[in-house]
Amino acid sequence: MKPEIHGKYLLFLFIMIKNNGQNFHVKLPRKETLISNISLPEDLVQIQAYLRWERKGKQMYTREKEKASNKFNNYIEEYEAARAELLEEIATGTSVDDIRKKLTKKGGQEFKDSAIHEKTITIPDDLVQIQFYIRWEKAGKPNYSPEQQLREFDEAKKELQFELEKGASLDVIRKKITKGEIEAKISKPPQNKRYFSAQRTQRKQRDLMVLLNKHSVKSVEGSITVEPKPLTAVESFAKKIDLDSSPVMNKKIYKFGEREVLVLVTKSADKIKIHIASDFEEPLTLHWALSEKAGEWLPPPRTVLPPGSVSLGGAAESTFSTCSFDDLPKQVQCIELEIEDGNFKGMPFVLLSGEKWIKLNGYNFYVDFSQRFKQDQKDAGDGKGTSKVLLDRIAEMESEAQKSFMHRFNIASDLMDQAKDTGELGLAGILVWMRFMATRQLIWNKNYNVKPREISKAQDRLTDLLQNTYTTHPQHRELFRMIMSTVGRGGEGDVGQRIRDEILVIQRNNDCKGGMMEEWHQKLHNNTSPDDVVICQALIDYIKSDFDISIYWKTLAENGITKERLLSYDRAIHSDPSFRRDQKDGLLRDLGHYMRTLKAVHSGADLESAISNCMGYQAEGEGFMVGVQINPVADLPSGFPELLRFILQHVEDRNVEALIEGLLEARQELRPLLLKSSDRLKDLLFLDIALDSTVRTATERAYEELNNAGPEKIMYFITLVLENLALSSDDNEDLIYCLKGWHHAISMCKSQSAHWALYANSVLDRTRLGLSSKAEWYQRILQPSAEYLGSLLEVDPWAINIFTEEVIRAGSAATLSSLINRLDPVLRETAHLGSWQVISPVEVVGYVDVVEELLAVQNKSYDRPTILVAKSVKGEEEIPDGTVAVLTPDMPDVLSHVSVRARNCKVCFATCFDPKILADLQANKGKLLRLKPSSADVVYSEVKEGDLADSSNLKGDSPSSITLVRKQFGGKYALSAEEFTPEMVGAKSRNISYLKGKVPSWVGIPTSVALPFGVFEKVLADKLNQ
């Protein structure tokens, strides 16, 4: 083909031969190769590229393009396309000068600011592109608009041109640029004024009712009466042994399909008895030994062998017999062994049925003699108020779930359909199970090796299901958020695999292939877990402290990891870290990068990790180590990336007010995206959870600042935390009304309204009621499931008892309650309010005792009803047995442990703000007083010893009888409020009449009319009604 013939493609075909039924299509070389001798000034290419972008409507690149390539590559493609267009025009005979006149006229200006004069030496585009990338990286990898990209490319070229003018050759520039030695002068991009200044976020004005979440919720199993499950034959046998034997040290029932095996250990004097029973129909033989340490098989002494036993060298075999209990549902085989206490630590065994060996998941059974059975473990009960069927299934699957996180997350995914179909009680069951796991109450890994990428893939599957059901079940979004906060984000393939690969690179690059690092490496390969985030942080802190080993153990301890836990891993960590000083910088750099990898899988709600996942990041591969490319979430609000950067810059600030404002603005901007479905919804949810958590921790950091703050500032912080709570709550209508009330109280305070404190106190009381309602909802939904499932899984009783309290205290409700307590005395003093805050209003009679602090007597048992006057009550104490009332000048919040206990146990609990009243109560030490609390006051009086029988809290029989006097008809069928008297109407009607003239004019009193006593009987007695 002749060069002068111009075309884009050559079309041809062979007879009867086509390319998959189509003509062959061959792309011809670009024309610029035919006219390479033409010099085209770069400033013209830039103008043409800008005009192309304008013609296309100044479009932003689509998400599909972003997936295929980053924005930098998109810009280069557009730039080269502009060059090709100009070269085509030159090839038709148009001169460069004509093109310049045409472009500058079309562009409306000559682009003097960005014009680059032609030089005798042309800088290759690849060098300009590298310098452009370096500038982009140093600027924090911002999302440039096409117009900004053109300017940045121009600046990159100017920097290289300056190097040429200084006398550097292109070869020297190439060497310097690849090492990053050419200075890139970066000015920070202008901040979006709509969002924030350098110091403060500019909050948008929004209608608070837009935050309203109100959905009807129905629990499928809530109204179902669950019949108690009959005991199996083995359970009945165990119950009889429990009743007939000595204290139980160890008790377990293993399930094999429909068959069960019981192992029960009791102790009496210096003897240990081991009872083993089963409902297998085939005859059983016990193949057993004793051990002084786990895994050891020692032959039992002949003196402890049951009759008919056979010694087999390192073990013994004993035959089961039919048990002697007659009233069991079916026949049970059993055997009893008795050994001296203290000689051995445990007993390994297997069962033999015919020629079949029965083991526990492929491993030998092992009875630990040193283990103490939890005597105070509650009975599981009937599961009332729970999704019992689901919880029973979870308990059945726990032995499989404890093999690894991969197993647990996959089982949780399999159970999600059943949970969501059951409603809020089903989701509460999943939450309780996952929280028991997250708080290390359940086994994380047991005799199973699993790759990190398999764990992250299982996490990814579970979080995908959670994000989908979050969209389809809006009435349960709060529960879904709480479940997600206990589970890491996970990720497909490369994200999890990098955990496995990157530790090897760290060891290789820093020459630390032995000792603790090798033991940790083996644990990471075997079964990575959230503990690895803590271990990594402990190593970083240890290195930063100039290798102070106490700092390593301090970080571990603060996050719940002990030496014993490190040794308990399947791949135990025995050694302390030990590094050379020359390894310091490299380890800090590499472990810092590794922390992001670990958090990407295990810490979905970590703020920095959550922001990285939404904004996108890239981790380069190295050798066998895979690279990771996380793309930014599409369609984020305008200015949102800058807002997140502001948060990260100020997250450690001592003065947190501006930070909290930024966090809440980010949550408000994020909220519309959380209400619709998207394939990256879970990343947005994890970000929102992280922002929520950071508001709480930042506010707690501000407590010291608020100690001497005025009421206006405390009220402002209350509005911030209340807004945060409303954003995270499902049924938040009352919280929003409280938020409106606080905003109005602040405006009244600023305008120095005479009644601002009274108004603020009324809002405070309403907020307290809202918090109490929320606490009661948590208690009703979560605690029954925690108690039932916790008992089935043998969770520590203390963890079960405080389960709901800990959930509440991990959220913004507890922070809000603390702020309210700080404001309450200020308002009382300003508004001249009463002397009491009653937390649990129960009328009682008891003997007064005065103590310094409730903590000092919490384990005491009083042998007579006691009213404790305690100077200090922190909120975490137990109420001593025999206590009928606790009075204190302290202000534990309404959600504290002691407040919840008082209400549940019907103990009077109140705070006294008047030192004189408190001193009078203390002066009555040893005397018998009667307390009569109302909603805002406590009336007390001395009681004679002979009047003890009149007190309901001092006797167990039924209350004394009372005499009712029939009210007589007064002659009027209806009364106005002015006519209300005790003889004519009840207390409710009289209270309305009493309020007239005693409340501010802006408080409206409803018009009231009442039917007096006796009207009903009078009307019925009329002859018309006979």
Could you give the residue numbers annotated as active site?
897
Query: Residue 402 and residue 349: Cα distance in Å, rounded?
Result: 21
In order of 1, 3, 115, 151, the CA distances from 45 in angstroms are 30, 25, 11, 13
CA distance 818 to 808: 13
Tokens of 719: 């509005």
Contact between 275 and 336 (Cβ < 8 Å) = yes
Please calculate the CA angle 13-15-21 and round it to the nearest 5 degrees.
Answer: 60
Structure tokens at 76: 């280069």
State both tokens at 563: 């030496």
Q: How far apart are CA 41 and CA 43, in angstroms?
A: 6
Query: Any idea which residue has 């009872």 for tokens?
Result: 275
Nearest to 431 by CA among 387, 383, 389, 472: 387
Residue 660 Cα distances to 437, 652, 698, 795, 890, angstroms: 31, 11, 7, 37, 28
Tokens 């509440």 belong to residue: 808
**Side chain identity at residue 275, one-letter code:** H
**625-654 CB burial, b ≥16 within 10 A, e <16:** bbebebebbeebeebbbbbbbbbeebbeee
Report the alpha-carbon distance of residue 209 to residue 739 in Å, rounded. Answer: 10
Distance CA 313, CA 300 (A): 9
Running DSSP on this structure, what letter comes out for residue 93?
Answer: T
At which residue do the structure tokens 């005798």 appear?
Answer: 120
CA–CA gap between residue 337 and residue 159 (Å, rounded): 87
In angstroms, the CA 419 to CA 389 distance is 10
Smallest CA-to-CA distance from 778 within 799, 817, 805, 801 is with 805
CA-nearest of 101, 430, 388 to 220 is 388
Q: How many residues appear in the chain? A: 1026
**Contact present, 1026 and 1019 (Cβ < 8 Å):** no
Strands (E), 594-714: 617-619, 628-630
Q: Using N-to-C axis directions, what is the helix angle for 681-701 and 477-485, rounded to 10°? A: 80
Quote the DSSP letter at residue 974.
Answer: -
Q: Which two tokens stand for residue 171?
A: 């070869």
Nearest to 485 by CA among 533, 548, 430, 566: 430
Q: What six digits make up the tokens of 345?
A: 């630590």
Do residues 100 and 118 lie in contact, with contact meaning Cβ atoms separated by under 8 Å?
Answer: no
Task: State how far the Cα of 484 lies from the Cα of 462, in Å rounded to an integer.
Answer: 9
Mark 255-286 as b/e (b = at least 16 C-beta within 10 Å).
Answer: eeeebbbbbbbbbeeeebbbbbbbbbeeebbb
